[in-house]
Amino acid sequence: MNKKNFIPYFISLIGMFLLSPPYFAYGFLLLITFDIIYSATTYFSIYLNDLEKKYKDCFLLLGSGILTIFIHLLITFFSPVIGNTINFIIFLIPLATLTFDTLINKEVSTISEKTVISFKTLGYLNIIAISFCLLREFLAFSSISYLTRDGIVAVNIPIHLFKEITFIGSTIPGILFISAFCMMLIPLFVTHKKSQKDEESN
Amino acid sequence: MEKKLLIKIEISIAAITVLLFSSFLLAYFIQDNTNKKIIEQLQNIVNNYQENTYIVTEKAPFQTALTSIGNIYIAEKENSEKQSYIALIRIMGISGPVSAVFLYDNNYTSFIDFAGISNARSYKNHGINNSQISYWEKTINDIIISNTTVQGENNE
C-alpha cells in the first residue's frame, strides 16, 4: 500500500465497517476477526503459490469462509446477542481479505517479499480501522464502548458533543462522508518514507 | 513438481474439511450454552419491562424461516393458562443491525426493547423507524398464531 494505490485498499476496508453498528466495540470485534482471517489467508496463499490463480482464489475463499463461520460460532459462544447482531456483516470479511490478497499479489514479485508486505499492510489497515471506528463513535455519540457477555456497554462523556450532526457518524450514508474525509487525510501519512526513497532512487 | 502440488492440494482440502467438521461440532456443543445465555438475557429485559410477570423457559419448537435472523422463546405468564412468547429478531436499520425484542401476549405482539446495548446514546431508536417495528410486530404475531393453531390441531 502506498500513496498511489491506497484507494482500493481503503474501500475494501471500509466496506466491512460501513454496515456495522456505529459503536467501537463492534468495530474492534470485526477487526480482530479480520486480523485472524487475513493472517490465515496470507499463509494459505503462500502455501498454494504454485497453483493457478483461479483455483487458488477458490480455495482461499472457501477456507476463509469456513474459518469465518468457526470464529462466528466462537463469538456466539462468548455472547449470543453480539453473535446474532453481527451475523451477516462478519461474512464480508472473507471477500475483503481475498481483495487484499489479489491487490498485494500485484505489488510483490517474490514469495519472501509477500509476507513482509502483507503484514506491513495489515499494520496500516489496523491503524486506519481503529482510528476510523473511534472517530465514528466519538463524532456520533461522544462515547466509547466495550464488549461484555451481555452485549456492549458504552461509556458516555457527560456532554453530548456534536449533537446536531449525530446523523453523520451514526448512519450508513453519513459514514461515507467520514470516509471521504479520511481519504483526503491518509495520503499525508501513509508510506511517506517510501516516497522519499523513490525520489532518491529517481 | 506436479506431484508436490497435488499433495499440497490434498492437504488443503483435508484442512478445509477438518475445519468444516470442527465448526459443526462446535455448533452442536455450544447450542445449550447459547440458549441458556439468551434466555437469561431475555429474562432481564422482560423483568425491566414488567417485573415478576413472565418467566422465559425454552426455545419455541416452531419451524419457521426466522432461524437465520433470530429466534422465538416461550415465556410463561403468571396466573394465565395461555402461553406467551418472546422473540429476539435482528433488524437492519440505517445505523446498521440491532437485535430487537418482541413480546407476544394474548394474541397481540408488542415491541419491548433492544437487546445487547446498554447505557448507549443512539440516533432515532438505533436507526429503526416505526414502520419497521410495526411490520415485525405483525409478522411475529402471524407466525406465532399460525404455528400455535397448527400445533393445537395436531394435538387434537
Mean pLDDT of A144-170: 85
Q: What is the pLDDT of residue B19?
A: 92
Can you spell out the DSSP letters for B13-75?
A: HHHHHHHHHHHHHHHHHHHHHHHHHHHHHHHHHHHHHSTTTEEEEEE-----GGGGTEEEEEE
Note the pLDDT of residue B155.
58
Answer whether A167 sits within 8 Å of B123, measured CB to CB: yes
Can you give the pLDDT at residue A201? 55
For an interface test with B, give the residue of A84, A171, A172 to mutate (most B CBs within 10 A).
A84
Local confidence band at A28 (pLDDT 50, 70, 90 cut-offs) = very high
Tens digit of pLDDT for each residue in B10-29? 998 999 999 999 999 999 99
pLDDT at B58 (0 to 100): 85
Identity of the amino acid at B45: I
pLDDT in tens, B32-50: 888 899 899 889 888 888 8
Which pTM value belongs to this model?
Answer: 0.88
- Report yes or no: A166 at the B interface, CB cutoff 8 Å: yes
Q: Are the beta carbons of A172 and B94 separated by less than 8 Å?
A: yes
Q: Which residues of B touch A156 (CB under 8 A)?
A: 119-121
Alpha-carbon torsion B122, A157, A185, A197, what sign? Answer: negative
Give residue-wise pLDDT tens across range B95-124.
888 899 999 888 888 898 888 888 777 777
**What pLDDT was estimated at residue A63?**
92
